[in-house]
Amino acid sequence: MTDVVKDKKIVAVKGTSLWKDGLRRLKHRKFAMVCLVIILAYFAVTAFVYVAEFFNWQIRAVMWTEEVGPSYQPPDVKYVFGTDIFGQSVLRKTIYGAKTSITVALCASLISILIGVPLGAIAGYFRGVVDEIIVWIYSTLSSIPYILLILAFAVVLRDRTLFGFRLTGMVTVYLAIGLTSWVGICRLIRGEIIKHKDREYVLAARSYGSSNARIIFKQLLPNVFHLVIIDFSLRFVSFIHAEVILSFLGLGEADKPSWGAMINDARIELARGVWWQMAAATVAIFFISLALNIFGDALRDSLDPKLRMQ
Amino acid sequence: MTAYIIRRLFYTVPIVAGVLLLTFVLFNLVGGDISLEIAGKNATQETIDEIRHEYGLDKPLFLSLDSQFVNHFKNALVFDFGRARDREPVIDKIKRGIAPSLSITVPMFFGVVFISVSLALLVAFVRGSAWDSLTLFICVAGMSIPYLSFILFGQYFFAYKWGFFPIYYTPGLSLYEYAALPVLIGIVTGIGSNLRFYRTVMLDEMKSDYVRTAFAKGLSTRKVLFKHVLKNAMIPIITRVVLAIPYLFLGSLLLERFFGIPGLGYLMIEAIGSRDYFIINAMTYISAILFVLFNLTTDICYALVDPRVSLD
């Protein structure tokens, strides 16, 4: 018996998972990898600012309050991006602004995934009345223009105390963006779950007695979760831009630097020929958005098998 | 068909009710009693009570025929949104803002659609070439520059520094003068995402069987593109275009703010500055109604035009 097995040549064809396969394809796209490095650099800067603030490190790059030179010093070798009206370094403000923007975009993504994904899964899986109610909620939200909805939420939530927690600055911004942006992901997940719920693996899971919750969270969601990642790598950009607009309108962080607030300062400064604060914010936003856009597209092309077959 | 339209109309009722419910929760429940804010710091209790009475804030929230909840619905259905902080009826302010808003959003809209559809066709001609990739890269790069930077730098260079256009809206200016620069900036910012969308639409269409057949029987690329692809690509193009119309009435928040054009976007920015819930409430409701109406119109047009749409 054992001899027979020994004689047969067993060629193990190793299957690759969707993720492995996708990542392999992604690695071949050099430009997308460059973009990933840029994105990671922004995240690293954010993490660094957090750590430095937490341990109260006296590192010059994060001490944006320090007066480094005269007011409105144009950019040169010593002052890379020049200084603002108070003589604070624009470069340091830009670095700190990265923290504000990335934090807002991350928290907003988290909130909208936490609302959108479960709601979409429940609606798609159970259908019936539950589905109708959830579809009604998101149809209502999506019938109001996006920017108006965010502004309405931001204006109302700002400086309000909810459940004993005072909403200020950044918290208002990401709550407003997060609470209004889950519609797209909810709709996407609902559609996907409807397609998946009668497939064999779900039937199999049901046949050996898995509960509905187990089927949704252990079987169905892992099979559609790559769509969430793709969607959010592209949506992240719009969150960053929304944060800029909200900060610009004075609905964001009040006394800490953010890219939107820097652009707001530039509104008056430009007439005096002070362009560097504006340019610094624009460049900072431009690189992260470009990297996210290109990387998100590459991620979608590599991870979505349906697109690949065409 | 009539039955279909009526049934479709009934579907809009829960949506409108949902929007009203949302604005009630936002502005009356979470937003809460704003009489103190309106009255100012040194107001007497009498003044506050008066304001409360005028805005109906002294009424019960629910559970009465004259409650705030019922009144919120009643007033919205007859488009009575109360008075703004400066005592002018909100609806008058909105009516006044529509024309200036449309004067910049309509030319912007046609410009963006025309330019991006024609460029998308051109790109479909050279698909797969370096020109195609370059266009795509420029689109993505354009989308990555914040809208605010386009406006600020555009205003600074074209109006302030080089003086091609007036910097700011003044009542005496003609439409061509004050709208030219905002429209131009709007078109430049809009092209990126639109061109990318229409390019995808065209290229998706290029993959269909009828295109292969057309090429197989020996038609030139130009004939295939203009006679076959463009006509079939019109369906997603028209959907996008029609659903963009309600946004035209909203005006452009940031463009109007920078160029001082007294439209709805400007009104909205002012309302945000002074926390005027009445204006924001009215704008939210009206734009939702417009959106629902245009959505309904598209569905009915589809049913009229496309025999495959089922009328159940």
Does position A307 have pLDDT exceeding 60, yes or no?
Answer: no
Overall average pLDDT of the B164-172 stretch: 77
Residue A162, strand partner residues: A165
- pLDDT for residue A269: 82
| Residue A105 touches chain B, beta carbons under 8 Å | no
Residues of B in Cβ contact (< 8 Å) with A282: 145-146, 149, 153
pLDDT digits over B59-72, tens only? 777 777 778 888 88
Residues of A in Cβ contact (< 8 Å) with B156: 270-271, 275
- pLDDT for residue A251: 84
- Rounded distance, CA B69 to CA A58, Å? 54
The answer to whether A263 contacts B18, with C-beta atoms less than 8 Å apart, is no
The answer to whether B280 contacts A151, with C-beta atoms less than 8 Å apart, is yes
Across chain B, what does the average pLDDT equal?
A: 84
The answer to whether A294 contacts B140, with C-beta atoms less than 8 Å apart, is yes
Q: A220-234, B42-56, B192-206, B231-245 — which is least confidently predicted?
A: B42-56
pLDDT digits over A14-42, tens only? 677 777 878 888 888 888 899 999 999 99
| Residue A244 touches chain B, beta carbons under 8 Å | yes
- pLDDT for residue A84: 74
User: What number is the ipTM of this complex?
Assistant: 0.84
CA distances from residue A201 to A197, A208, A215, B84 in whole angstroms, order as listed: 9, 11, 10, 59
- How far, in whole angstroms, is CA A152 from its chain's centroid? 21
- pLDDT for residue B276: 84
- Rounded distance, CA B284 to CA B295, Å? 16
Shortest alpha-carbon distance between residue A144 and chain B (Å): 5
Residues of B in Cβ contact (< 8 Å) with A139: 15, 18
Shortest alpha-carbon distance between residue B70 and chain A (Å): 19
Best mutation target, B26, B144, B266, to test chain A (most A CBs within 10 A): B144
pLDDT digits over A108-163, tens only? 999 999 999 999 999 999 988 999 999 999 999 988 888 888 888 888 888 777 77
- pLDDT for residue A7: 57
Among A136, A144, A149, select the one facing B14 at the smallest CB separation: A136
The answer to whether A289 contacts B30, with C-beta atoms less than 8 Å apart, is no
- What percent of chain B lies above the pLDDT cut of 70? 98
CA distances from residue A199 to A121, A307, A309 in whole angstroms, order as listed: 15, 21, 21
Shortest alpha-carbon distance between residue B275 and chain A (Å): 7
Q: Which amino acid is at B238?
A: I
Which of residues 11 through 70 in chain A touch B, CB cutoff 8 A? Answer: none
The answer to whether A263 contacts B152, with C-beta atoms less than 8 Å apart, is yes
The answer to whether B31 contacts A270, with C-beta atoms less than 8 Å apart, is no
| pLDDT tier for residue A309 given thresholds of 50, 70 and 90 | very low
Residues of A in Cβ contact (< 8 Å) with B19: 140, 143-144
- Taken as a whole, chain B contains a residue count of 312
Question: Please, are residues A214 and A205 in contact by the beta-carbon 8 Å criterion?
Answer: yes
- What percent of chain A lies above the pLDDT cut of 90? 27
Overall average pLDDT of the B231-238 stretch: 82
Overall average pLDDT of the B190-217 stretch: 88
